[in-house]
């Protein structure tokens, strides 16, 4: 199987190119963005040396469908998806925070809680909680967006005080975040899933409109549990059955890696890469409730180039 680790494109009217951990974003004339979802895999803010076949397609197609199912809540940047790995949309100025919202004590929150912390991003966490218990109400725990290295937790008060986002805009981001999480929770319930936590990213267009950008409700940006058996597992103190890339993080932790200085990145065998790819396909089919159709990966860069060129010509 082939995996797309990156491209060497120079698109017509290209003004800049940003290479993120997973996506490559091309800014073109006329305020257009072309976003290519590669098959790169990141965990603990470190990009793994090997890609995961079909991962980019899976993320792009889940995000596309979830954008369509939430556009009544908040406008989004998306104009078209001309290729399984590509989204084209409206350029905007991104807010320099990720809006993380947590319905359950899991992942990063649980790791902090085990260290004895009872405040996360200025938000109190009740005593007496077990890992994977629900919070009384979902909590918003923002993170700064780091161009390199680790994103960092930050409170609402510090975001506003430091001028990262003004108060009016930040309150709107919180409102959108809660509404999107409520919709995501309902969509997950329809599939027999629990949306545990997720993150949303927003930007502002030239006319001042706040829009949803990047991915939404994907297994890279979100954590899901299977609803069936959740309560029984909690009562027995068992690990929850997850649909997210947390399984990759746990594999790395078990192999002595958490992205900390001096730690050696463990080797991912081809057999393990295959299991990760299959898990991502499982994620897609459970989150969207339909079979995953594999795109042709024989000449991916040629396919993407052709489809992007055609789409740019056809855009109004």
182-211 tens-digit pLDDT = 999 999 999 999 999 999 999 999 899 999
Whether 19 shows a pLDDT value over 60: the answer reads yes
H-helix or E-strand spanning residue 316: none
Task: Give me the CATH topology for the region 14-93+273-314.
Answer: Phosphorylase Kinase; domain 1 (3.30.200)
In which band, very low, low, confident or very high, does the pLDDT at 242 lie, cut at 50, 70 and 90? confident
pLDDT of residue 246: 76
pLDDT tens-digit readout, 279-303: 899 889 999 999 999 999 989 999 9
pLDDT of residue 36: 97
Task: Give the CATH superfamily of 94-243.
Answer: ATP-grasp fold, B domain (3.30.470.20)
Whether 1 shows a pLDDT value over 70: the answer reads no
pLDDT of residue 149: 54
Encode 192-218 in three state secondary structure.
Answer: CEEEEEEEEEEEECCCCCEEEECCCCC
Express as a percent the part of the chain with pLDDT over 90. Answer: 83
pLDDT tens-digit readout, 246-286: 788 889 999 999 988 889 999 999 999 999 899 899 889 99
**CA pair distance 264, 260, nearest whole angstrom:** 9
Could you tell me the CA-to-CA distances from 16 to 28, 55, 116 in Å, in that order? 7, 25, 44
Strands 32-37 and 222-226: unpaired
pLDDT tens-digit readout, 141-181: 999 976 555 679 999 999 999 999 999 999 999 999 999 99
Whether 137 shows a pLDDT value over 60: the answer reads yes
**CA pair distance 260, 308, nearest whole angstrom:** 38
Helix orientation angle between 246-254 and 270-288, rounded to the nearest 10 degrees:
150
- At a CB cut-off of 8 Å and minimum separation 6, what does 54 contact? 1, 39, 277, 280, 281, 292, 294, 295, 297
Q: Of 121, 200, 109, 118, whose CA–CA distance to 156 is shortest?
A: 121
Whether 45 shows a pLDDT value over 70: the answer reads yes
In which band, very low, low, confident or very high, does the pLDDT at 28 lie, cut at 50, 70 and 90? very high
Total-model pTM:
0.90
Tell me the backbone φ, ψ of residue 204, rounded to 5 degrees.
Answer: -125, 130
Residues of the chain within CATH 3.30.470.20 domain(s) are 94-243
**CA pair distance 87, 38, nearest whole angstrom:** 12
Whether 243 shows a pLDDT value over 80: the answer reads no
Tell whether the torsion through CA atoms of 20, 24, 29 and 31 is positive or negative.
Answer: negative
pLDDT of residue 148: 56
Per the structure block, which two tokens stand in for 35? 């976003």
The mean pLDDT of the chain is 93
């Amino acid at each position: 199987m082939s995996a797309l680790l990156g491209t060497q494109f120079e698109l017509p009217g290209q003004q800049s190119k940003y290479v993120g951990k997973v996506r490559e974003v091309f800014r073109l004339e006329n305020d257009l963005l072309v976003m290519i979802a590669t098959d790169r895999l990141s965990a603990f803010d470190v990009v793994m040396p090997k890609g995961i076949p079909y991962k980019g397609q899976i993320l792009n197609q889940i995000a596309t469908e979830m954008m369509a199912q939430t556009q009544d809540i908040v406008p989004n940047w998306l104009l078209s998806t001309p290729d399984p790995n590509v989204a084209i949309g409206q350029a905007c100025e991104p807010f320099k925070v990720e809006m993380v919202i947590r319905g359950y004590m899991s992942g990063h929150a649980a790791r902090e809680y085990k260290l004895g912390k009872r405040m996360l991003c200025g938000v109190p966490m009740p005593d007496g909680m077990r890992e994977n218990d629900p919070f009384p109400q979902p909590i918003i725990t923002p993170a700064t967006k780091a161009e390199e290295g680790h994103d960092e937790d930050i409170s609402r008060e510090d975001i506003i005080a430091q001028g990262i986002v003004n108060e009016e805009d930040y309150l709107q981001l919180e409102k959108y975040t809660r509404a999107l999480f409520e919709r995501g929770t309902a969509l997950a319930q329809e599939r027999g899933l629990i949306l545990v936590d997720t993150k949303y990213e927003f930007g502002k267009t030239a006319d001042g409109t706040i829009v949803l950008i990047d991915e939404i409700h994907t297994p890279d940006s979100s954590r899901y549990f299977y609803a069936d058996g959740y309560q029984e597992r909690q009562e027995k103190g068992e690990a929850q059955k997850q649909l997210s890339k947390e399984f990759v993080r746990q594999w790395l932790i078990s192999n002595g890696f958490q992205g900390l200085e001096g730690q050696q990145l463990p080797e991912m065998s081809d057999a393990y890469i295959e299991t990760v790819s299959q898990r991502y396909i499982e994620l897609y089919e459970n989150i969207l409730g339909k079979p995953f159709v594999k795109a042709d990966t024989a000449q991916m860069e040629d396919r993407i180039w052709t489809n992007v060129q055609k789409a740019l010509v056809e855009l109004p």
